[in-house]
Amino acid sequence: MKNKKIFNIFAIILLVLVSVASICSASVEFTDSSGEIITLTYPAERIVCLNSDAAEALVALGAGNKVVGLTESTLEDTALMRHLPKAKSVGDWQTPGVERILALKPDAVITYSSSKPKNADQLTNAGINLIYLDCYKFNSLEHDIQSIGTMIGAEEKAKAYIAFLKRWKNEVVSRTANISADKFPAAYIEGYTDYTAQGKDSGIDILMGIAKGKNLAADLGEQWPKVTPEWVISENPGIIIKTASSKPGKALAQVRDSVLNRTGFESLDAIKRKQVYVLNGDLIFGPRSPAGLVYLAKVLHPDECKDISPAEVLKEYAAEFVTGVETGDYYSPEV
């Protein structure tokens, strides 16, 4: 009987050891934003984000405590930083500090594929595992969130976010389904810098396509073409949409006023009708972009979308994924 008990104890210990070994050696495989297959020997536990949108995606998937390093620009996002208690600065996102990153011993370093660090070669030569996941354009957000979910072992939470994204996209698509292409409202869409338009395949151009709007700069042959006041005046847009960031001392309402009062714009239909809208970049790019999509849909098609609101989307996002981001200077005017 005693030998049998000892045997059972050894069997249990062996089973535990095998289970632990299995968990520790379980590799994960996913594709990055460029389609390259990435294999990690185990789910990432220590992550440096050179990409603020990926940092927010990690928070949305319940993994803010896995983020050990961030760039200075992300550290300025007070709402997001509440969920990133272990994160330390690795410097500027364009040229992050190699030694700082190495000191954090990360399992993975996430950065943009479209805007790689200027010192990317130096980082990889130092043995830093760069993973290119954008997490900002609406049309690739589902893929990137799924990949991050796999990378950290949070597949179910990733599915929940993707369901949220799809539901609001489908809401906009269904409400505008009967609007023909010749009825799409035309808009001049301007970036953060005055007279830098948002061209084809830019973040907001993708949202405009879903929301059934016509981007007047889409045919200029560049993602961010420089235009002139004369070009805008010649196009005479019925709507102007300006991308901006919320800054201390300069609310989005002030940015809107500056556009409304631009010299030479007095004759534009958009100015006469006060159809000028300013949208925070946080709602154009990244995990909060379903709210930006709903805002644009209301701007373009107020009758079809009168009973939905970006505030409603943000409240749901905050309740399910990232608390504290439901309020902010996100758009002007209210719709």
Average pLDDT of each block of 10 consecutive residues along the chain (335 residues)?
53 46 69 94 96 96 97 91 96 94 96 90 91 95 97 97 98 97 97 96 96 97 96 98 86 97 96 97 96 98 96 98 95 96
Q: Is residue 14 part of a domain?
A: no
Q: Is residue 142 part of a domain?
A: yes
Same domain for 150 and 183: no
Same domain for 312 and 274: yes
Same domain for 64 and 136: yes
Same domain for 211 and 325: yes
Total domains, the chain: 2
Question: What pLDDT was estimated at residue 11?
Answer: 47
Q: Is residue 51 part of a domain?
A: yes
Same domain for 131 and 63: yes
SS (H, E, C) 234-265: HHCCCEEEEEECCECCECHHHHHHHHHCCCCC
Q: Is residue 301 part of a domain?
A: yes
What 3-state class would DSSP assign to 295? helix
Question: What pLDDT was estimated at residue 78?
Answer: 87
Same domain for 209 and 96: no
Q: Is residue 299 part of a domain?
A: yes
The domain of 100 spans 27-154
Q: How far apart, in Å, do the first and last CA atoms of the chain sit?
A: 77
The rounded distance, in Å, linking the Cα atoms of 32 and 237 is: 38
The rounded distance, in Å, linking the Cα atoms of 78 and 319 is: 18
Same domain for 184 and 269: yes
The structure tokens listed for 260 are: 């409304």
Residue 290 identity (one-letter amino acid)? P
Residue 7 identity (one-letter amino acid)? F
Question: What pLDDT was estimated at residue 312?
Answer: 97
Q: Is residue 167 part of a domain?
A: no
Question: What pLDDT was estimated at residue 129?
Answer: 85
Same domain for 212 and 149: no
The structure tokens listed for 99 are: 């030694």
Strands 47-49 and 28-31, sheet pairing: unpaired
Question: What pLDDT was estimated at residue 18?
Answer: 40
Same domain for 184 and 146: no
Q: Is residue 174 part of a domain?
A: no
Q: 176-215: b or e for each residue (b if 16 or more CB lie within 10 Å)?
A: beebeeeebbbbbbbbeeeebbbbbebbbbbbbbbbbbbb
Same domain for 277 and 239: yes
Question: What pLDDT was estimated at residue 114?
Answer: 82
Q: Render pLDDT for 201-251 as a digit per residue (tens, 0 to 9).
A: 999 999 999 999 999 999 999 999 999 999 999 999 999 999 998 777 789
Q: Which residue from 129, 161, 132 is spatially nearest to 146, judged by alpha carbons?
A: 161
Q: Is residue 54 part of a domain?
A: yes
Question: What pLDDT was estimated at residue 4?
Answer: 54
Strands 88-89 and 67-70, sheet pairing: parallel
Q: Which residue from 115, 151, 111 is spatially nearest to 133, judged by alpha carbons?
A: 111
Where does a domain end: 154, 169, 203? 154
Query: Any idea what the CATH number is for the domain that residue 185 is in?
Result: 3.40.50.1980
Where does a domain end: 154, 189, 213? 154
Same domain for 105 and 215: no
What 3-state class would DSSP assign to 197? strand
The rounded distance, in Å, linking the Cα atoms of 68 and 61 is: 16
The pTM for the full model equals 0.89
For the chain, how big is the Rg over CA atoms in Å? Answer: 23
In which region does residue 158 sit, left (phi positive, over 0), alpha (psi from -120 to 50) or beta (all else)? alpha
Strand arrangement, sheet containing 47-49:
88-89, 67-70, 47-49, 108-111, 130-132
CB 204 within 8 A of CB 197: no
Same domain for 59 and 143: yes
Q: Which residue from 331, 71, 32, 57 is spatially nearest to 204, judged by alpha carbons?
A: 331
Where does a domain end: 138, 154, 170? 154
